[in-house]
Amino acid sequence: MRNPNAIFRTPLTMEDYLAARWISTPLRLFDCDVPCDGATAVVLSRRERAADLRNPPIRIEAVGSALRDRNSWAQLENLATQATPSPAAMLWNRTDLTPSDVDVAELYDGFSFHTLTWLESFGFCERYEAPAFVEGGSRIALDGELPINTSGGQLSAGRLHGYGQVHEACVQLWGRGGERQVAGDPQVAVTSTAGGPLAGCVLLARE
């Protein structure tokens, strides 16, 4: 609602959600990201050069890209977690930061359950405890302990295959979120993309 560029901005009640048509059990229409046209540009530069550019530099602190399963839905080792655990473990293995250092999480939500698997794989909660972690919404709200998908994510803002999450992470770290800006001067953001047989994640930190 606070993102002027989001596609869905009207409040969604539980009745609205349950009245929506089934796509594939247990997913209903609003469990699926909304198609859109859009683009995100990511400019990579040496740190010394970036200091002179218009936007304050944001450091790529760590990347997670390890994949342990074949690129096939039918051959996933664990359909519940999908491919998210190994990239998340790789990311944390490449930094001294920990989940407790993350100020905002922009997590892939091509389908609503992907966000839950990323929460668990990143270690924000234990395996199979994500539903309790997000229960009621206060913990993941803008003023919660871990604000999630502050732009509305792909479920509301539109599907950009995870690049929207990267853009929103930078917006938050730059303090340019407007009405949806996370308070407290966020310094660290984690982003993720995909979550079926393919997945990846990036930890960003403000210089």
Would you say how long the chain is, in residues? 207
Q: How confident is the model at residue 147 (pLDDT cuts 50, 70, 90)?
A: very high
Q: Is residue 7 part of a domain?
A: no
Q: 29 is in which domain, residue-wise?
A: 14-206
Cα separation, 107 vs 81, in Å, equals 14
Using alpha carbons, list the distances in angstroms from residue 63 to 51, 158, 173.
22, 24, 17
The answer to the question of residue 3 being in a domain is no
pLDDT of residue 196: 87
Quick check: is 108 in a domain? yes
Per residue in 99-114, pLDDT (tens digit) is 999 999 999 999 999 9
Q: Is 83 contained in some domain?
A: yes
Residue 60 belongs to a domain with what CATH number?
3.40.47.10
Is residue 106 within 8 Å of residue 169, measured between CB atoms?
yes
Q: Tens of pLDDT along 152-173?
A: 999 999 999 999 999 999 999 9
DSSP 25-75: TTEEGGGBPPP-----------HHHHTTSSSPPEEEEEEE----S-S-GGG
Q: Which two tokens stand for residue 165?
A: 């999450």
The verdict on residue 174 lying in a domain is yes
Report pTM. Answer: 0.95
Domain count, the chain: 1
pLDDT in tens, 44-100: 999 888 888 888 999 999 999 999 878 888 888 888 889 999 999 999 999 999 999
Does 149 map to a domain? Answer: yes
Element (H, E) at 18: helix 14-19
Q: Distance from first CA to last CA of the chain, Å, rounded?
A: 30
Tell whether 4 is covered by a domain.
no
Q: What's the confidence (pLDDT) of residue 180?
A: 97
The reply to whether omega before 26 is within 30° of 0 (cis) is yes
Is 109 a member of any domain? yes
Is residue 7's pLDDT more than 90? yes
User: Can you tell me the distance from the alpha carbon of 131 to that of 140, in angstroms, rounded to the nearest whole number?
Assistant: 12
The per-residue pLDDT for 75 is: 81
